[in-house]
Amino acid sequence: MKFVVCKTPEEIGEKIAKEMIELIQDKPNAILGLATGSSPIPTYKNLIAAYAKGEASFKEVSSFNLDEYINPPFEEATYRYFMKDNLFSHVDIDLKNTHFPSKENMKEYDEEIVKAGGVDFQILGIGRDGHIGFNEPNTPFDSKTHIAELDESTRAANARFFHSLEETPTEAITMGLSTIMQARHIVMIVSDLSKVDALKALLKGEEDLMWPATVLVNHPSVEVFVTKEVFDTAK
């Protein structure tokens, strides 16, 4: 696990996007594992800018998103909408090649990823409690794509995207931890001081079920992009 310390979230976005563009230039039909939330937005902005400059085409790219809410109260709250708004509608990706987990495809989602050739590049954020995707504390490290009941702390953190905490979904479909671990290369973004405790758990370099992200310590190719402020606070 390599820690890449950056000054700002924008610098993180530039560096991750550069890696992704180089991958797509080398492998036009790359398989991307994508995340939502505020952390990857600077990365997506840089990908859009690269596409606008003619530096990358997404025509042959396929994507598999980490997760999706169950029964969100309005379309704008779905992660499919988020991805269209923050990336897909601004580049030339074929929407037929974009995939999201659901109740209907949950049992086949892992198999679909394998059939596509496996994820080449997986983007992850991290929750205050160390969750990745919606794999909450005590999720088995061998878990596959599944329905997750969201912890109250997770719902509280995501309530800003809804009109109230009561409206925030209580369940989601998420790639499992073992699903995520199958990706060939993984980048994690840690750019908020509220994630300091989760980063501390990662810095220990030991697996801990209470901190789901620690499953990554045994992955052969992980980069953790972290702002200097967060890194210095966690040390």
| Active-site residue list | 67, 129, 131, 136
Angle at 176 between CA 35 and CA 185, to 5 degrees: 55
Give the number of other Cβ atoms within 10 Å of residue 219's Cβ: 16
Task: Indicate the DSSP class of residue 134.
Answer: T
Query: What is d(CA 35, CA 48) in angstroms, rounded to the nearest whole number?
Result: 16
DSSP 8-state symbol, 150:
P
Within the chain, residue ranges assigned H as helices are 9-26, 41-52, 79-86, 106-116, 152-158, 177-181, 196-203, 228-234
The encoded tokens of residue 189 equal 């973004």
What gap in Å lies between CA 91 and CA 147, rounded to an integer?
A: 31
The residue assigned the tokens 């230039």 is 25
Residue 120 CA, distance from chain mean position = 13
Residues 145, 176 contacting (CB under 8 angstroms): yes
